[in-house]
Structure 1
Amino acid sequence: MNRNIFIANRLREVLLNGHWIANTNYKEQLSDISWQQAIQQINELNTIAALTYHINYYLRGLLTAFETGKLEISDKYSFDLPEITCKDDWDKLIQDFVKNAACFIEKIEQLDVEVFEKPFFDEKYGSYLRNIEGVIEHSYYHLGQIVLIKELIAQ
């Protein structure tokens, strides 16, 4: 299996439809959360909505970078979640997340295998492989938080 297909499948696992590593994925976890639960604050933890926005921020930013050739996302803006005040706001965030996840996965599938060893927009960021694997690891990290926060909300 080509590296691009392998990595796209790993992204698909965590973001849209897998069960292998975490026995769940973002799309599945977000599907049964009400907008009130999504914004419910548990102590000092991030909300489920904030974590969803955070991962989506990077997916959208990376898609833009692939399109423009410029990586212009910044960690300091990655939790700047617009206020969610109703079901429509939450549904829009989920729809945007799912769309960006699918587009990002498709983009990775279409990459030439040789690109994975090349610098990711700038040599200071390391290789494409390192950064895309970072997206996978980062996504699993926050998926685990979402699962735990859902359990705390259900108590």
Structure 2
Amino acid sequence: MNTQTYQIAHRFREVILNGTWIANTNYKDQLSGLYWEIATQKINSLNTIAVLAQHIHYYISGILNVFNGGTLDIKDKYSFDFPPIQSQNQWEEFLNKFWNDTERFAVFVEQMPEEKLNDVFVDEKYGTYRKNIESMIEHSYYHLGQIVLIKKLLLQNR
């Protein structure tokens, strides 16, 4: 299959679930098997790995809500506000939700009629579906780079 929506969905899966083409890694590679104490450890004023992952999930979940017929309820000012993760179990539950929502997002994009990519996303000020989906991919790579660096800093001292 070589449709635009399939290609975009594939790129989205790459950054979160299974790719190595752009960054030589992905969220799942970086976060699976990571102990919650490391994911939540603070370095100076940097965000934690957990907060960055939750931040990306926040946007995936918000856009997914629109895909499923809901409203756009996400706000930038709340995109870093999450209850603290306090156990390995909570961390694993979050990661499972992150992976599952990512796959649901990708499946929606994959099955979307190509012409919908150029439709307005919720309101003209937000641009098109294409712009929002591609921005989600770019935004994810941006924070993936931060996660990789923070993880290196945390693990070099162990």
Provide the TM-score with structure 2 as the length reference. Answer: 0.95
Kindly, what percent of the aligned residue pairs are identical?
Answer: 53
Report 1:115-134 matches (<5 A): 115-134=116-135
CA distance in 1, matches of 2:125, 2:85: 36
CA offset digits 1:26-84 (Å, max 9, x no partner): 01110131000010001111000000100011111111111124211111111112111
Aligned to 1:19: 20
Secondary structure in 2 matching 1:80: coil
CA distance in 1, matches of 2:130, 2:48: 30
1:73 and 2:74 aligned: yes
Asked if the contact 1:69–1:121 (Cα under 8 Å) also holds between the matched residues in 2, the reply is no
Tell me, in whole angstroms, the C-alpha distance in 1 between the residues paired with 2:103 and 2:40: 24
- 1:2-81 maps to which residues of 2 (within 5 A)? 2-81=3-82
Q: Over aligned residues, Cα RMSD in angstroms?
A: 0.9
- 4+ runs deviating over 4 angstroms: none
The yes-or-no answer on 1:140 pairing with 2:130 is: no
Which segments of 5 or more consecutive residues in structure 1 lack a partner in the other structure?
none
| Equivalenced residues, count | 155
In structure 2, stretches of 5+ residues that fail to align are none
Residue 68 of structure 2 aligns to a residue in which SS? helix
**Residue of structure 2 equivalent to 1:82:** 83
Code of the aligned partner of 2:34: I
